[in-house]
Every structure is written in structure tokens, then in C-alpha cells.
DNA sequence: TACATACAC
DNA sequence: CATGGTGTATGTA
């Protein structure tokens, strides 16, 4: 009840989160009919959809999606989920038959001690902040073109929407929705008086606006991490340290930042310099002024969440969106009060499927439910998932801080990347030569990126999406990495491997479907991964030549030239 | 290592 | 006209 929530004066604050009201986010929990096995539940939940006519929106979406290959596959997958759920339920029943007090002993013996350990490791102050720019992409365009915002608009096209403004959201138009459905929603729900405007995406623009915001936020935390173009994860502890170590009259931003950079000298911990209440008040005001500054200097509004860890801060940042902020105190009670009524879906990492499984097998909808069923959760789910869910149930995340182990020298911008890929969707085709041409273009473009980053991948992967949206992948890892030196023919090798993998996939497919289910492809992708580490020792010349030779004998059929056209003519 | 899934934005 | 692209993590074999 002491949550410090507020919304800026200029905020669009019609329905801010209200802790007192204990509003719960379980809206569509029961609204999903088993028939619709709704996958595309679009109308609900998300910020900006508050006053939306949910039923009509879902109706229109269902109607417009009906019978599409996409939805057919969605239904098929939903059936498989149903089977999985049945088998989980059965496992649970068997467990109950064997023993009737396993829950109690599991809680006492393993779960609760573990949770207690987590609780004892909690940070004692709320200094973790997630800042999230409001409808970032479309807002960037609106800056240059304010009249856009007078009617529903979005970034994207008839095939896919990536962000919409709040006028559009009121009609149920949201990210990841096909644009043509968005258009129908707007036209129908506005009685034909409005029309959805599509704006082409402009990533140069987004990158530059994102950098502006980052530069501002960095003044409050030099080590902040931009998790995406529109999301910053930061820790304002040092800033607050400096703030409280300065005598009251002299506290201004310049003095604080100077103080911050000057000294790592040991100050007493934050908790000893000020009371929890005082810290909360200062933090609230600080976030307020940071957001105001972002708005003044970039024209963009953002929302912020502050808590003792990022898991909670992230949820909080979404609570009063747009243009609002939420502070969650560090005490057990404040955390429990905040999280208990929330849908588990609010937690970053709990997606559509996990939510469905939790509800269908255990009746778990809220975080409080999750805690109540922690024994069942621990029994039913795989180790990593179970551990994760248990942590979620008490709102704990480690947030190790200092995870940017990148390079010991300088903040290497290329922090430990695991893979790099390129993919493209197109009009489905089964023409082999067309597929090869597309694949070559994807692979050569990827090769450029790989080279410019100086990466040396050992594993090459191919991704194929069929016309019915089924996904197939193939990988090939080799002894020696590609792109070890300029001009070593790696680009061509990459293309060759990709084509070979495609041939393999097609062969396997026609094998499996002896009937003539055409190999109709709607997307091709290439992925490079398993990068050779920078300091790894170089293989000897001898070994290199041996392996290089293997590559060619292995990958290419005899008599074919070392070119893509090798792939064009076969199969 | 190979492949399939889930998830975030 | 008809559902994206990039990257990470996990489980299973």
C-alpha cells in the first residue's frame, strides 16, 4: 500500500496502476475457449488497450485469420500442447497415488530452504531501474511528423506491424499483428471513419534516437545496459551514494556526477546514509527528473520501474505505461504485495506457452498461485524452468551485475556474441534455382557482417520455413573456423555449405513425405555460430590445409565448380 | 553436436 | 493481396 506510484502531470493518465485497488491481470484467463485455442489473443493486457472492446476485437481477428495456413498450424500446435498437458497431469496423478505428503516434504526439505537463501541474498535497497521508451518506433516518426499521431498509425506494413500508437491500440492494433488485420480492426471499429496509417520502418532513425537517450541515461549510470533500442537496464546506486554523500544544499546533478566520477572511496552503504523512506522519495524524484529530461531533450516519453532487482523493475516499468513510473520497495512485504496479484505472464521469461501450461496443469494464474503450488511446479517442470519459476514466485532474480565480462580491455562493443544470422521471408516457392539464388544472397550478406565484425564461426546453420509454417533446421560444424583471413574464400564456402544443407533438408523432406507434398518454402535463413575465441591458438598451417581440403571434398560433388551454380543445377 | 522449442523485442 | 527478423537459452537425443 505504500507503493510510490505516480504519473506525470502531462501523462495520459486515465488508468494508472493502482496498488490499493489490487487490480489483477487475469482478464483473459477464462476467455480462451478451448476451440479457438487462442494463439493470437491480441486484445487485452498490453498497455494502451484499456478501453478497447475486447470481444469485438477478438471476433474480428478470429474471422480475418480463419482458415489461413498460419492459423491451421497454430491449431495443430495447440493440439500437441494439449497432449503434453495431459501427460503432465498424469504424472502428477501418479505422484499423488504414490505418496500423499510429498508436497510438504518437498517444500520443507528443498524448496523453502532454497527460497529462504534467495530472500537472504536480496538487495536491501531499490536501485535497479528499467527505462522503457513508449511505443518507441512509431514515436520516433511522430516526432518528425506530429499529425501522424492524430489518427491510428503504426510502423510496418500489410504483412506485419511492429509498433502502433495509442490511438491504434485502442482498436486492438498492436505489435506482431499482421497489418491487414489491423486495418480491418480500425475501419470496422471506427465505423469507417478512421483508417490505419502505415509508416515504413527506419532503423537509422531508431538507432540515433536510442543513442541520444542512452547518452542521457549514462549520466546516471555509466555501466547501464541497453537491452534493445528502447530498453535500458541501469543501477542508480552509485548516483544515490554520491547524492547522499554531498551536503544538502549542494546537491545538483553536476555536483553529483562529478562526485560519482571522482571517487571510488569507501562511503558507507546507502542504507546507512539515509532512511529507506528518504531513499524512496529521492529515487522517485530522480526518476521523475530523468524522464522529464529525456522528454525535453529527445521529445520521447518513457516509462520506468524501480525495484531491488531487474525482474521486478521490468514489470514495474510496464505498470504505468505510457509516460509513468512505479517504485517497488525492497522489503519482503512490498515485493509480495506488488507481485502476488499479477498474472505470471507479466514476468519476463514467462511466455504464452508456459502460461498456458501453468494454468492448464495447476490452475496457476497469478504469482501468488505460483507460490502456493511451488511443490507441484518443482515436480512438473524441467530443472531450469522449475528453478526459474520458484525464483519468480518470490520475485527474486540475481542480476549479477558485472556480467559484461566482454574483454578485459576497454568496453569491447562486441560483448561475447553467440551467433549471427540473416533470414528472409518471400512468396512461397518450390523452384530450386530460385531458392538457391535467395539463399546465396542471404549468405553473402551475412558473410559481410561476419567479416566486418571479425568473427570466425565454426558452425553454419540453415533454417527453412515451409509454406505451412513448419520449421526445419540443419547445421554443420567444422574443424576449422571460417573467415580466419581475408580473401580465403570463406564467403563462397559459406554459400556452398548453405546450399548443401538446403539440399539435405529437401532430400529428407521428400523422403519423409513420399507423397508429393511439395517442398514449398516461404523463408530461408543462415546462421553462423560457435565462434572461435579471440585468444585461441591458431591451427598449424599443415592442419589448416588438411582441413581446408576436407571441406571441399566433403561439401561438393565431384566435377562441380566451386560456385553456387553447382547448387543451381542439382536436384 | 544436431535439432526443436520457447522467449523477448 | 494474407502472420517478421535477430538473438539467447534449454531440453533431448
In a domain, A243, yes or no: no
Predicted local confidence at residue A268, as pLDDT: 83
pLDDT at position A399 is 80
- Is A493 domain-assigned? yes
Question: Would the Cβ of A78 be found within 7 angstroms of any atom in strand C?
Answer: no
- What is the structure's pLDDT at A265? 61
Instruction: Output the pLDDT for position A400.
Output: 64
- As a rounded value in angstroms, the CA-to-C1' distance for A227 and C8 is 12
- Element at A99 (helix H, strand E): none
Number of domains in chain A: 1
* Cβ count within 10 A of residue A202: 14
Say if residues A158 and A198 touch (Cβ distance below 8 Å). Answer: yes
Nearest in space to A494 (alpha carbons), one of A559, A563, A418: A563
Per the CB < 8 A criterion, the answer to whether A315 and A397 are in contact is no
C-alpha cell at A295: 522528454
Q: How far is CA A493 from CA A475, A487, A555, A557, in A?
A: 14, 11, 9, 14
A558 occurs within a structural domain: yes
Which of A42, A174, A55, A96 has its CA nearest to residue A379? A96
Q: Which nucleotides of B are covered by protein (CB under 7 A)?
A: 1-9
What pLDDT does residue A45 have? 60
Give how far Cα A500 sits from Cα of A145, A203, A493, Å: 48, 33, 10
CA angle at A457 for the pair A451 and A458, rounded to the nearest 5°: 150
pLDDT of residue A427: 97
Cell 530461408: give the residue. A524
Q: Is A343 exposed, middle or buried (0-12, 13-18, 19+ CB in 10 A)?
A: buried
How many whole angstroms separate alpha carbon A426 and alpha carbon A170? 31
Phi and psi at A429, nearest 5°, equal: -145, 155
Q: Is residue A38 part of a domain?
A: no
C-alpha cell at A490: 570463406
Positions in chain C where some atom is under 7 Å from a protein CB:
1-12
Domain at A501, CATH number: 3.30.1490.100
Q: Straight-line distance from CA A209 to C1' C6, in Å?
A: 20
Q: Give the long-range contacts of residues A94-100, CB within 8 A, separation 24 or more.
A: A95/A379
Residue nearest to nucleotide C5 (CA to C1'): A423
Residue A533 belongs to a domain: yes
Distance A8 CA to C2 C1' (A): 41
Residue A449 lies in a domain: yes
Contact residues for A473 (Cβ-Cβ < 8 A; gap 6+):
A461, A462, A463, A464
The reported pTM is 0.88
Count the helix, strand and coil residues of chain A and give each as a percent rounded to the nearest 5: 50, 15, 35
Tens-digit pLDDT profile for chain A (571 aa)? Answer: 333 344 333 333 333 444 433 333 333 333 333 334 445 544 456 667 777 889 999 999 999 999 999 999 999 999 999 999 999 999 999 999 999 999 999 999 999 999 999 999 999 999 999 999 999 999 999 999 999 999 999 999 999 999 999 999 999 999 999 999 999 999 999 999 999 999 999 999 999 999 999 999 999 999 999 999 999 999 999 999 999 999 999 999 999 999 998 866 667 888 888 999 999 999 999 999 999 999 999 999 999 999 999 999 999 999 999 999 999 999 999 999 999 999 999 999 999 999 999 999 999 999 999 999 999 999 999 999 999 999 999 999 988 654 443 333 334 444 689 999 999 999 999 999 999 999 999 999 999 999 999 999 999 999 999 999 999 999 999 999 999 999 999 999 999 999 999 999 999 999 998 877 789 999 999 999 999 987 655 544 444 444 443 333 333 333 333 333 444 444 4
Element (H, E) at A175: none
Rounded CA separation A178/A75 (Å): 18
| Residue A412 to residue A418: CA distance in whole angstroms | 15
Cα gap A213→A325, rounded to integer Å:
17
Judge if the beta carbon of A200 is closer than 7 A to nucleic acid strand C: no
Q: Quick one: which H or E segment has residue A237?
A: helix A237-244
CA angle, residues A472, A478, A479, in degrees to nearest 5: 160
Query: Does residue A571 lie within any of the structural domains?
Result: no
| Sheet (strand A471-477) strand order | A419-429, A521-531, A457-466, A471-477
Any domain includes A503: yes
Nearest nucleotide by C1' position to the A348 CA atom: B8
A117 close to A131: Cβ distance less than 8 angstroms: no
Nucleotide nearest to A385 (CA to C1'): C10
Which domain does A440 fall in, by range? 419-565
Amino acid at each position: 500500500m505504500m507503493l510510490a506510484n505516480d504519473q506525470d502531470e502531462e501523462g495520459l493518465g486515465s488508468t494508472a496502476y493502482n496498488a490499493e485497488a489490487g487490480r489483477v491481470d487475469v482478464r483473459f484467463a477464462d476467455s480462451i475457449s478451448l476451440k479457438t485455442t487462442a494463439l493470437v489473443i491480441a486484445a487485452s493486457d498490453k498497455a494502451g488497450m484499456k478501453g478497447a472492446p475486447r470481444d469485438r476485437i477478438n471476433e474480428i481477428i478470429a474471422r480475418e485469420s480463419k482458415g489461413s495456413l498460419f492459423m491451421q498450424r497454430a491449431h495443430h500446435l495447440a493440439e500437441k500442447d494439449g497432449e503434453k498437458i495431459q501427460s503432465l497431469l498424469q504424472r502428477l496423478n501418479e505422484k499423488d497415488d504414490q505418496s500423499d505428503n510429498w508436497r510438504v516434504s518437498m517444500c520443507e526439505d528443498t524448496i523453502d530452504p532454497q527460497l529462504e537463501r534467495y530472500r537472504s541474498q536480496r538487495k536491501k535497497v531499490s536501485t535497479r531501474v528499467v527505462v522503457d521508451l513508449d511505443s518507441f518506433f512509431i514515436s520516433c516518426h511522430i516526432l518528425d511528423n506530429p499529425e501522424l499521431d492524430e489518427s491510428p498509425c503504426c510502423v510496418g506494413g500489410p504483412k506485419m506491424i511492429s509498433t502502433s500508437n495509442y490511438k491504434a491500440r485502442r482498436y486492438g492494433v498492436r505489435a506482431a499483428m499482421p497489418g491487414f488485420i489491423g486495418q480491418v480492426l480500425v475501419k470496422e471499429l471506427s465505423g469507417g471513419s478512421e483508417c490505419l496509417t502505415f509508416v515504413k520502418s527506419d532503423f537509422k532513425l531508431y538507432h540515433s534516437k536510442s543513442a541520444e537517450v542512452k547518452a542521457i541515461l549514462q549520466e546516471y549510470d555509466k555501466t547501464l545496459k541497453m537491452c534493445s533500442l528502447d530498453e535500458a537496464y541501469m543501477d542508480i546506486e552509485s548516483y544515490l551514494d554520491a547524492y547522499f554523500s554531498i551536503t544538502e544544499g549542494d546537491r545538483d546533478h553536476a555536483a553529483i556526477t562529478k562526485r560519482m566520477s571522482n571517487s571510488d572511496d569507501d562511503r558507507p552503504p546507502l542504507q546507512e546514509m539515509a532512511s529507506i523512506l528518504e531513499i524512496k522519495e529521492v529515487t522517485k524524484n530522480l526518476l521523475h527528473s530523468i524522464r522529464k529530461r529525456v522528454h525535453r531533450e529527445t521529445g520521447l516519453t518513457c516509462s520506468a520501474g524501480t525495484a531491488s532487482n531487474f525482474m521486478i523493475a521490468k514489470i514495474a516499468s510496464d505498470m504505468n505505461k505510457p509516460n509513468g513510473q512505479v517504485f517497488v520497495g525492497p522489503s519482503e512485504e512490498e515485493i509480495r504485495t506488488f507481485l502476488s496479484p499479477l498474472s505470471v505472464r507479466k514476468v519476463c521469461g514467462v511466455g504464452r506457452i508456459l502460461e498456458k501450461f501453468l494454468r492448464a496443469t495447476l490452475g496457476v494464474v497469478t504469482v501468488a498461485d505460483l507460490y502456493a503450488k511451488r511443490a507441484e511446479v518443482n515436480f512438473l517442470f524441467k530443472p531450469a524452468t522449475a528453478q526459474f519459476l520458484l525464483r519468480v514466485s518470490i520475485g527474486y532474480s540475481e542480476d549479477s551485475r558485472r556480467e559484461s565480462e566482454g574483454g578485459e580491455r576497454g568496453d569491447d562493443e562486441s560483448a561475447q556474441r553467440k551467433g549471427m544470422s540473416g533470414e528472409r521471408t518471400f512468396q512461397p516457392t518450390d523452384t530450386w534455382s530460385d531458392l538457391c539464388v535467395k539463399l546465396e544472397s542471404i549468405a553473402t550478406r551475412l558473410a559481410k557482417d561476419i567479416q566486418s565484425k571479425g568473427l570466425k564461426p565454426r558452425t553454419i546453420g540453415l533454417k527453412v520455413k515451409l509454406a505451412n509454417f513448419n520449421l526445419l533446421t540443419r547445421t554443420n560444424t567444422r574443424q576449422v573456423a571460417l573467415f580466419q583471413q581475408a580473401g580465403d574464400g570463406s564467403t563462397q564456402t559459406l554459400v556452398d555449405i548453405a546450399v548443401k544443407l538446403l539440399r539435405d533438408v529437401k532430400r529428407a523432406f521428400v523422403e519423409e513425405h513420399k507423397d508429393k507434398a511439395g517442398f514449398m518454402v516461404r523463408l530461408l535463413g543462415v546462421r553462423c555460430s560457435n565462434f572461435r575465441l579471440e585468444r585461441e591458438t591458431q591451427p598449424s598451417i599443415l592442419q589448416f590445409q588438411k582441413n581446408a581440403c576436407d571441406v571441399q571434398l566433403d561439401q561438393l560433388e565431384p566435377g562441380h565448380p566451386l560456385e553456387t551454380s553447382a547448387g543451381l543445377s542439382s536436384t
